[in-house]
Structure 1
């Protein structure tokens, strides 16, 4: 992370472990809602996969179809346990000589080690991409114009990439992109964005945008807890049901086609007094003392209080009365997501 030190020195941001923080973090969330921000995505770890067998190797391990990933495309994918539970959620795109994937930084060392155990005789090399690359998150309602003004590549559509001179831009949606930049060009790109009045912001600001987009991230608090559909992963394009086997594939397919899904991910709001945290259990009166779900991502709301992504029993979400940490705990409210919850048939 040394390459971020000098850049952050001229801002009120600082690095706390893998998280970019600030005394004005709440103001950054407001800025994320209303303006243009750039965020050091230090909460993401990077793994590079190169070699003749890299495509087949990743295809056989992940939930999405790596063989069909175009050179100018990116997709969400996951690595699962044999029981179909997500061990990591990832964004995958093409690097200069192979593939690059981003996942939660707190899972990065263990996942790099675990994936390396599958290499065996395959002609593929996995390495820590953070030593040579850095990620900047850019958010703007005029995303294409901002990228163009900073002389950066402009992807044509969401989940498309554009590359030039060893630098890649991965467009996530209508307002957000990830800039994948060599560390030796980090100051140049950061400065180009600052020159067009894009403001530096914290990790919380980027995570608030994730919550608005309904994009989950598996972290240590939620690892091995959820099947992909519980995190709406097939709804955001993170699962391909036509590809061949991968760890946990049978469970994921059975959940999709046999109607065993009873939980989905929802967006919730909480009052300021609630002090929720990722991993907290949720309760509903009809289920008495049995947990009905768990918080996945929690961020301050620009409107006050908190917003969160949470996996919930669908029956509890339909009833609309959700409480934090106990049946008499603070009440949370179900809010909308930007996509429809096209649920599989519920278990009888």
Structure 2
């Protein structure tokens, strides 16, 4: 397998419209308490200067959607999620509103999300260029809200959410960043986004959600909470998500096979993106976040079948505990 050559993320600089994402708006006096009872995160304790990851699970504890939750106003929350997952997630959440004073809607007509990377973006943000991951702040000049995302290989990143017109002006004001670059940075961050191909596939811990702050274990009940808690405290977790690279196209939902047990799938691709090339040409190499049986982690991996393209284990940006073989 050839070596993988990554661009220097610290050299990336600019803004990109995150057209692959969507935003659910939750408004009303009970919006926070309603979402608190549906998501894996403490929403009632969230303040306007915090953004939080959350999982929306089925009764079996499998993730139906992943959200970045932002609270721009006391009775308003924004849930950023995969744009193709949004309609089904919104419909399912709306089924449980009942008498709660909460209104859920697809905010596509009024809100947009923009990804920001590098020093030019930090200069444009000014005092809103927050330093710590998952801090949030209003950006008065644009009427939007800013979330500091985890750095990727030293590159600072922010998420801006705000009015559609202001988003267009923001993208025009900064150097253009290709969406493919942003998607690769997302993969390299180690934070999984549920896509259509992976809906109802993973318990949150399988995609390391408790490691990146996406599960609050003291918040009380939500759909699937018992399964998620059992996975955490009874040592039943046999699968984790890792970063892999390959010299072939990779996409979410593809199965991965281990050389140690070639007769059955050993994992599934959660997210994947092409590795940006240094010369701007089309890439033939990909990075992927892959949920795997961790017991055979060093035995070699193949995409699609035991005879498929080989995959190389990369380095996650945070420690992934593997437990013991007796768990």
The equivalent of 1:307 in structure 2 is 287
Cα distance in 2 for residues equivalent to 1:189 and 1:163 = 15
Unaligned segments of structure 2, at least 5 residues: 1-5, 278-283
> Aligned partners of 2:237 and 2:30: how far apart in 1?
35
Q: Do the aligned partners of 2:41 and 2:55 also contact (CA within 8 Å) in 1?
A: yes
- Please state if 1:55 is matched with 2:55: no
Q: Which residue of structure 2 aligns with residue 157 of structure 1?
A: 132
Report whether the alignment pairs 1:316 with 2:296.
yes
**Within the alignment, does 1:182 sit opposite 2:163 as a pair?**
yes
| 1:77 Cα offset (Å) | 0.4
Q: 3-state DSSP class of the match of 2:218?
A: coil
Contact residue 77 and residue 92 of structure 1 kept, 8 A? yes
- Provide the C-alpha distance between the structure 2 equivalents of 1:75 and 1:107, rounded to a whole number of angstroms: 19
Residue 99 (structure 1) aligned with residue 80 (structure 2): no
Q: Corresponding residue for 1:337?
A: 316
Distance 1:347 1:68 in 2: 37
Aligned-partner SS, 1:87? strand
Distance 1:82 1:237 in 2: 21
Task: Assess, with a 3 A threshold, how the Cα gap between structure 1 residues 141 and 187 changes in structure 2: closer, same or farther.
Answer: closer
What is the rounded CA distance, in whole Å, between the counterparts of 1:156 and 1:163 in structure 2? 14
Secondary structure at the counterpart of residue 180 of structure 1: strand
What corresponds to 1:14 in structure 2? none
1:216 corresponds to: 192
Equivalent in the alignment of 1:71: 48
**CA shift at 1:143, angstroms?**
5.3
Cα deviation digits, residues 165-193 of structure 1 (max 9, x gap): 43111111241111112123233322332
Q: Which moved more, 1:277-286 or 1:305-314?
A: 277-286
**1:268 and 2:244 matched:** yes
Task: Please name the residue that 1:240 is paired with.
Answer: 216
Moved over 6 A (4+): none
Aligned 8 A contact 1:140 1:146 in 2: no
CA offsets per residue over residues 23-43 of structure 1, 9 Å max, x none? xxxxxx948563203111111
Cα 1:318–1:31, aligned 2, differ >3 Å: closer, same or farther?
Answer: closer
CA distance in 2, matches of 1:67, 1:220: 28
Say which structure is richer in helix. 1
**Cα 1:275–1:188 shift into 2, 3 Å:** closer
Please state how far the C-alpha of 1:345 moved relative to its aligned partner: 4.9
Q: Distance in 1 between matches of 2:298 and 2:120?
A: 36
Partner deviation per Cα, 1:282-311 (whole Å, 9 max, x = no partner): 111221311000111121123661111100
RMSD of equivalent CA atoms: 1.9
C-alpha offsets along residues 66-118 of structure 1, whole Å, 9 cap, x if unaligned? 12212200010010011100100110011344100101001111111111100
- Residues 64 and 278 of structure 1, relative CA distance in 2, 3 Å threshold: same
Give secondary structure in 2 for the equivalent of 1:266: strand
Other-structure match for 1:5: none
Could you list the per-position Cα deviations for residues 5-62 of structure 1 after superposition, in whole angstroms to 9, with x for gaps in the alignment? xxxxxxxxxxxxxxxxxxxxxxxx9485632031111111110111111111000000
Q: Tell me, what secondary structure is at the counterpart of 1:127?
A: strand
TM-score, normalised via structure 1 length = 0.84
Report the TM-score when normalising by structure 2: 0.89
Over 3 Å counting, the alpha-carbon distance change for 1:143 and 1:200 in structure 2 is: closer
Q: Classify the secondary structure of the residue corresponding to 2:44.
A: helix
Does the 8 A contact of 2:184 with 2:276 survive in 1? Answer: no
In the alignment, which residue of structure 2 is the partner of 1:257?
233
Larger deviation: 159-168 or 298-307?
A: 298-307
